């Protein structure tokens, strides 16, 4: 699904066939979750593939690396250039790009000596699909921000996301909503969260979340379309039965939520601000002129 016999990837300065690439079973990232990564999308536009917010994503990759004491051998411009080459070599237009910085063999608890940089890409549909999601408040909280750099994209952090998502799915829900340590709503396992009430949007401030690049884009779109948006802490009680809600992230884009803890949101998705923002987001990533739909 992620590669076939023709897929070419970038690894440590070389272009290699994905099917012929190997990694050591003693690598530190595999054993201890010490690695950093990104999730980026490219879209087919009128003038070829455009990597959406490439600079922001690679800046975050470098920031994530810095928090984990990883020396990155490439800068942002080089990584952007390599990513376009990657798309070209694989003949991809609409693609999900996955940079991963991982370590070589090291069974100690400081960064390994050998840093590997991988860039790979594949075609990927919307991560949570197109249907409106039934979401549950997870009993798993987001990690304590004093235990991890939660604003960095570190492989090991995703054990928490996997726990919450798996638990929710086993209870029959589509996805989880995680709280912070104080019981306020934080985010989804791989996406930021917004809800709508009385014509206004709310999302939590940064501090306990990965403050996403899509979230920042939604902020920009709200400003552009004069949608009222407030960053504040709120509990799931305030969200349940509100007008509407949605997740945002590179992989999920803008995904509507039908219910939280079996309590339906009042508006139909098509009547919500989230729906309009989903359409505006699609135009933004395709580099089309905004249409004033609000």
DSSP 48-104: EEEETTHHHHHHHHHHHHHHTT---SS-HHHHHHHHHHHHHHTT-SSEEEEEEEEE-
Yes or no: say if 212 and 192 are a contact pair by the CB < 8 Å rule.
yes
35 binds ligand PMP (CB under 6 A): no
Yes or no: say if 156 and 164 are a contact pair by the CB < 8 Å rule.
no
Number of residues in contact with ligand PMP, rule: CB under 6 A?
A: 13
- The least CB distance from residue 235 to ligand PMP, in Å, is 19
**Interface residue with ligand PMP, options 35, 39, 99, 274 (CB under 6 A):** 39
192 binds ligand PMP (CB under 6 A): yes
State which of positions 92-151 bind ligand PMP (CB under 6 A).
none
- The least CB distance from residue 216 to ligand PMP, in Å, is 8
Assigned token pair, 59: 């800046």
Q: How many other CB atoms are there within 10 angstroms of residue 262's CB atom?
A: 11
Nearest-angstrom CA–CA distance, 141 and 186: 8
Using CB atoms, what's the residue nearest to ligand PMP? 212
In this structure, is the dihedral angle defined by the CA atoms of residues 94, 81, 150 and 223, taken in order, positive or negative?
negative
Q: What is the x/- site pattern for ligand PMP, positions 213-252, by CB under 6 A? A: xxx---------------------------------xx--
Considering the complex, state which of residue 30 and residue 216 has its C-beta at the smaller distance from ligand PMP. Answer: 216
Q: Residues interacting with ligand PMP, by CB under 6 A?
A: 39, 161, 187, 190-192, 210, 212-215, 249-250
Active-site positions? 153
């Amino acid at each position: 699904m992620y590669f076939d016999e023709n897929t070419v990837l970038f690894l440590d300065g070389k272009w290699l066939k994905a099917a012929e690439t190997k990694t050591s079973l003693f690598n530190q990232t595999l054993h201890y979750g010490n690695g950093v990564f990104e999730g980026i999308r490219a879209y087919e536009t009128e003038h070829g593939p455009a990597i959406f917010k490439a600079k922001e994503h690679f800046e975050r990759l470098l920031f994530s690396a810095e928090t984990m004491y990883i020396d990155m051998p490439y800068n942002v411009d080089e990584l952007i250039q390599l990513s376009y080459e990657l798309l070209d070599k694989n003949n991809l237009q609409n693609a999900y790009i996955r940079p991963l910085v991982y370590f070589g063999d090291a069974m100690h608890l400081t960064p390994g000596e050998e840093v590997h940089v991988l860039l790979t890409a594949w075609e990927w549909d919307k991560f949570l699909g197109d249907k409106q999601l039934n979401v549950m408040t997870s009993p798993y909280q987001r990690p304590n921000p004093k235990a991890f750099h939660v604003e960095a994209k570190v492989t090991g952090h995703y054990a928490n996301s996997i726990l919450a998502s798996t638990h929710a799915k086993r209870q029959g829900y589509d996805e989880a909503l995680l709280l912070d340590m104080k019981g306020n709503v934080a985010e989804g396992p791989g996406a930021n969260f917004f809800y709508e009430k009385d014509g206004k949007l709310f999302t939590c401030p940064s501090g306990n979340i990965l403050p996403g690049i899509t979230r920042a884009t939604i902020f920009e779109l709200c400003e552009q379309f004069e949608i009222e948006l407030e960053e504040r802490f709120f509990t799931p009680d305030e969200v349940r039965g509100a007008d509407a809600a949605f997740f945002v992230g590179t992989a999920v884009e803008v995904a509507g939520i039908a219910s939280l803890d079996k309590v339906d949101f009042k508006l139909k998705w098509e009547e919500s601000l989230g729906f309009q923002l989903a359409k505006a987001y699609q135009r933004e990533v395709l580099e089309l002129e905004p249409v004033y739909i609000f």
